Amino acid sequence: MAEAVDKLTGATAKIENLAAEKNQAASDLVTAQATIADLQGKLASAPKPEAITEIQGKLDSEKARADKAEADLKAEKEAEVPKINAAAANIVAAAGHAPVSTIAASGDLAAKSKTLAEFRSLSVRDKASFLRSGGKLTE
């Protein structure tokens, strides 16, 4: 009979251990299910590949629009330069000063060589600028 009591005590201890393991497994299951639910929520709110492609397309479109606007602005600015130069020349002329030479605006002073006739048609100031910039006279 003592042997039966020992077996019964051992079996009870095993049952108690199994019950504790079952409770731990149930707790682990609840934690795992909560983690799965959290991950599913994050997955549902994560951007989808097609959404990323759409966003990238919009970004590229806006960048192209900004580049075009920048180019248009630059072109408008460049178109205004001659008008501003003409207005400045008119102001200088209205103030009674000698006319402003258009040679500097046209880039002729940057030319490396001029004929003697071209050189003679320049103002004294433009002749000096031409020679200082390394210009050469040709026949």
113-135: pLDDT as tens digits: 888 888 888 899 988 888 888 88
53-79: pLDDT as tens digits: 888 888 898 988 888 989 888 888 888
Coil vs helix vs strand at 139:
coil
Are 127 and 119 contacting, i.e. CB atoms less than 8 angstroms apart? yes
Q: Burial level of 114, CB count in 10 A (0-12/13-18/19+)?
A: buried
Rounded Cα–Cα distance for residues 123 and 126 (Å): 5
Rounded Cα–Cα distance for residues 98 and 89 (Å): 9
Q: What share of the chain is helix, strand, coil (3-state, %, to 5)?
A: 80, 5, 15
Predicted structure pTM score: 0.37
Rounded Cα–Cα distance for residues 23 and 14 (Å): 14
Q: What is the mean pLDDT of the segment spanning 94-117?
A: 64
- Residue 88 makes CB contacts below 8 A (sequence gap 6+) with 100
